[in-house]
Amino acid sequence: MANKHVIFLVHGMGNYTNGWSDPAQNIIKDKYKKFPQISWLKFNRFYEFVEIIYDDEFEALRKQWERMSEGLGTALQSQGINAGLVKKLNKLAGVTNKDKFINTHIVDVLLYRFARQTASAVRDSIRVQILDKLKSLNSSEPISWSIIAHSLGTAVIHDALHGLYTDALDISGQQLGNVTRPHMLMMVANVSRILQSDVKVYQSVVRPGAPENAHAVRHYINARHEWDPFPMPKAFRPKPDWPTLSIRERGFYKEIVTNAIEDKNIHSLEHYLKNPLVHTALFNALSDRSAIDDASIKSAHSNYVAKTPLGKFEETVQQLKEFQLGEEEDLAKVIKVWAEFKDKVGA
Amino acid sequence: MRMFNIRWAILFVIFVGNTPVFADESNCTEMRNSALENTTDHFGVLYSLYSTAKCFGSNEDKEDWVVDIRKKVTKEDELKLVGIEKENLIRKQWAIDVIDAVGSQTVNLQLKPDVIKQFKQVLAIAKEQLLADVQDKNVTSTGHWQLSGDNGTLLALPLVTLKQDLDKVCKNHSQGIDKNKCDKVVAYAEELLRMIYVVESAMQYYGHPVIEALSKRYTLRKKMWDAYRDNALPQYWWEWGINSWRLSRSDDRLRDAKGQPMGPMEIPNDQIILLHPAFGIERLESIDGFSTTDPTIIIEFLGYNRWRWNRATGEMQNGLGFSVIGSYADRSKVDDFSYGILVHFQNKYSIAVTRSSEDDTGILLTVDLATLFREKSDAFKELSSNKFR
């Protein structure tokens, strides 16, 4: 049996369990059917989705600190130590414990960015999930796979891929790039640059154009919404000759900027995928050619924009203006604005 | 009115004819015949059948030589029963068999004799490299055998220009012009796609152990990271931060041409302990001959813990550490505070010798507060009762 093309889905910040990507999957399948140029090949027959979950790494650490600080509080109180002091000490120890989303989401980002152990554990978890799936496929047929990553997921997948594709087996020196590479990497609300640490995104091997070179991926799609505060600061916006002029000319790197608003949570993966500019880029990359021509894309986009007039979302637009960030904002302000956005928009 | 209806009917048929509609289980032949019938984009159709539907050269292909060569492949579950060395030999042998089989089929590409010649040369190089177990980044890599969808070229065979060939000859096919020529180029294209797909399959099969080896490596690493979090001495968030800083400083990975670190970060085998609260039981012997045993709050001011990794199993072994501590217990007849050196064994057990300001000497045992409360949250309350007084 020939292998289906595997599409890995990598979530962003927050709590995620199995089934988190069902809405996104349904949107992709639904939009695929609307283009006869590609839908003559049934989606479910030739593609399959695999969810990647990595927030369990953050959760395990948070839970451990929660238990440690609870124990500390109990121990201190039983020794008759001043209640006020206990409260202060407990607060210090338990600063990561609050179960509010602000801590859940923002602590994940801070842990990934600043705690090397956590970042490495998350990257290894993602690598294991990808490799386990690839290992399970029929090896006497070619393996083809792609990745759609969202928000914090763009940073973790970037780093995970860079490490994987610069690693070599100890004795033979063989590398994964000789055997398989992701066909397409779609980065939605790309925060890989503002969260970069040991690996710099413009210099890493995670660049398009494979297999003509040693780059990790073939197609790289970078999608952002003009009003989305997440990908704004230190936006991933490479120069026109990144990685090379010829790769750009061949269309292996696609920059998609949208501004239509369908609902107030413009940061969500589902909102991005609903826009024809985004999903047609996805389908063309999966097809490895311009299966959906420019005229069809333009027509689909015009219809979409006509149904999402800015006037309908004037209040949302006014709200979104509060969350605009500059290119060079410092990380502390960025984190604060991201947290406020999630709070107000309910993302 | 009748002419109007006929005109709309013709337009409808043309539109529908260019957009084939298939049942989910249509086979490759049905899809191929229907898709090619009225298309103006022969390359697009054939490429989709090759790349997405995998109709050429896969297990779905009923072409005799493809069926024959695929019968020779040893399945995954059978490979699991043999050792790694034998598995690698089996994989290599099938790849070589594929090269031989494809080599004998290249005669079917007679439309392009130069492609045949190049194909045979490249297959010979690939075979040499497989026999010598030399993994080149070119002819034995799967990527070099993947046809490009935008321009119909192939890295392994630079003379292949499939899109150009099909576009040039088949552009008037729908009007019945050059139909025979177009059919010949389509037949050539299908044969070529079949052959390169099978060769790519062979390289995938041969290289698959790399995926398995990396999967094993990263699974072990994940286990080690979990052990670092769960089995080393537990760390509060400030300790986690300090140890993260140390990890960054000690990162000595090789760098690539662009100065970026290569491979994953080394997993630490030590940790700094800093202002770490813990709990223990201290027996203090006063110089007056009085002794007391009390549950005690400890602060490890500064310490260091180290272990060895079993690289085969990912387990921590031989943990040994020490820290400078202060302890406090609510005592009536002796000093509440004492100080000492705490020694940690195996990341689980700790013992200290302490001395109070009144020269009372103590022995302190601790099951780390955090470890204790990982498992038994009531244990501290029990010990804080008068049970041990």
Q: Is B306 exposed, middle or buried (0-12, 13-18, 19+ CB in 10 A)?
A: middle
Containing H/E element for B363? Answer: strand B361-367
pLDDT above 80: residue B197: yes
Residues of B in contact with A158 (CB under 8 A): none
- Our CA-based measurement puts residue B1 at a distance from the nearest CA of chain A, in whole angstroms, of 30
| The one-letter amino acid at B346 | Q
Q: What is the pLDDT of residue A15?
A: 87
Residue A214 to chain B, least CA–CA distance (Å): 9
A53 touches chain B (CB under 8 A): no
Lowest mean pLDDT: which of B22-26, B212-216, B234-238?
B22-26
Cβ neighbours of residue A209 under 8 Å, at least 6 residues apart? A215, A218, A243, A244, A247, A250, A252
Phi, psi dihedral angles at B253 (to 5 degrees): -65, 150
pLDDT in tens, B49-73: 999 999 999 998 999 999 999 999 9
Structural element, H or E, at residue B140 = none
Name the DSSP class of A242. Answer: S
Give the contacts of B157 (CB within 8 A, at least 6 positions apart). Answer: B115, B118, B119, B122, B196
CB B102 within 8 A of CB B199: yes
Q: Which of A2, A38, A128 sits opposite B58 (nearest CB)?
A: A2
CB contact under 8 A, A128 and B230: no
Amino acid at residue number B323? S
Helices (H), A275-313: 276-287, 294-306
Percent residues over pLDDT 70 in chain B = 85
How high is the pLDDT of residue A88?
63
Nearest residue of B to residue A37 by CA position?
Answer: B19
Chain A, 274-303: which have a CB under 8 Å from a chain B CB?
Answer: 286-291
Which parts of chain A have pLDDT scores under 50?
101
Q: What is the pLDDT of residue A171?
A: 63
Interface confidence, given as ipTM, is 0.91
Structure tokens belonging to residue B210: 């790399």
Residues of B in contact with A103 (CB under 8 A): none
Cβ contacts of B278 within 8 Å, gap of 6 or more: B297, B298, B299, B300, B350, B366, B368, B369, B370
Q: Which residues of B touch A114 (CB under 8 A)?
A: 241, 244
Identify the residue with better confidence: B2 or A159.
A159
How many angstroms separate the CA of residue A234 from the nearest CA in chain B? 19
When pLDDT is averaged across residues B217-242 and rounded to a whole number, the result is 95
CA distance B164 to B288: 101
Tell whether A120 lies on the interface with B, counting CB pairs under 8 A.
Answer: yes
User: How far apart are the C-alpha atoms of A193 and A186, rounded to whole Å?
Assistant: 15
A91 touches chain B (CB under 8 A): no
Regarding beta strands A145-150 and A5-10, do their DSSP bridges make them parallel or antiparallel, or are they unpaired? parallel
CB A129 within 8 A of CB A52: yes
Nearest by Cα to B91 from B244, B222, B201: B201
To the nearest whole angstrom, how far is the Cα of B178 from the nearest Cα of chain A?
Answer: 25
Closest CA–CA distance from residue A254 to any residue of chain B (Å): 14
Q: Does an H or E element contain A311, and which?
A: none
Of the candidates B24, B328, B384, the beta carbon closest to that of A78 is on B384
Mean pLDDT across B150-161: 95
CA dist list (Å): A106 to A60, B20, B155, B317? 15, 49, 45, 35
pLDDT of B228 > 60? The answer is: yes
Min distance A152 CA to chain B CA atoms (Å): 19
Q: What predicted TM-score, i.e. pTM, was given to this entire model?
A: 0.90
Give B283-339 pLDDT, tens digit per residue: 877 777 777 777 888 899 999 999 999 999 999 999 999 999 998 887 776 667 889
Beta strand A219-225 with A184-188: parallel, antiparallel or unpaired? parallel
Query: What's the rounded Cα separation, in Å, for the pair B228 and B316?
Result: 8
**Nearest residue, CB atoms, B142 vs list A67, A135, A180:** A180
What tokens were used for A304? 């979409």
The reported pLDDT for the residue numbered A106 is: 80
Write down the mean pLDDT value for chain B: 86
The reported pLDDT for the residue numbered A311 is 62
Contact B52 A41 (CB under 8 A): yes
Q: How many Cβ atoms sit within 10 Å of the Cβ of residue B346?
A: 14
The span from the CA of A289 to the CA of A292, in Å, is 8
Q: What is the percent of chain B where pLDDT is above 90?
A: 64
Write down the pLDDT at residue B324: 96
A308: its two tokens: 């999402």
For residue B78, which residues of chain A lie inside 8 Å, CB to CB? none
Does the distance separating the beta carbons of A123 and B264 come in below 8 Å?
yes
**A65–B236 C-beta distance less than 8 A:** yes
| pLDDT at B193 > cutoff 60 | yes
**What pLDDT shows up at residue B18?**
45
DSSP A264: S
| Closest residue, chain B, to A54 (C-alpha) | B222
DSSP code for B261:
B
Q: Distance between CA atoms of B57 and B51, rounded to whole angstroms?
A: 11
Select from A42, A75, A125 the Cβ nearest to the Cβ of B279: A75
